[in-house]
Structure 1
Amino acid sequence: MAKTKKTRNLPPDHDFTFQEKVTGAIRFNDKNVLLIAFDTTTNKVDILKLDDKTGQTMTGSVTLE
């Protein structure tokens, strides 16, 4: 006897929004760590390059248009 595959209904599409500030980190190694913050209300991106060994930082920001 062949088994029938049960299907379930997918939930409806919802328009979800991000928090106002979204952050993330990319760790390549101890010397190169990128911390990224994105403000969804102003479309501003802030990036911080951190050297964990020496504590040196470099920052930059841009507003997306």
Structure 2
Amino acid sequence: MPRVIKHPEFRREELLDHAQTLFLTQGYDKASLNDVIASAGVSKGAFYHYFPSKEALLEALA
């Protein structure tokens, strides 16, 4: 399967969108970082490139 390269700002927004959906449907405490990563279809390393933690992801949504 060919690697899909997306613009960094698009990838960041995509992570925020998936996180927001999961946090609203499952709650922040029940939605794991792995859930967000799987939903967005990114690697853990890619996630940490954009956000240092799950808490930072939540702060970016505020």
The TM-score bracket by the shorter chain reads under 0.3
Q: TM-score, normalised by structure 1?
A: 0.26
Ranked by relative contact order (alpha carbons within 8 Å, sequence separation 6 or more), the top structure is 2
More helix by share: 2
More strand by share: 1
CA radius of gyration, larger in: 1
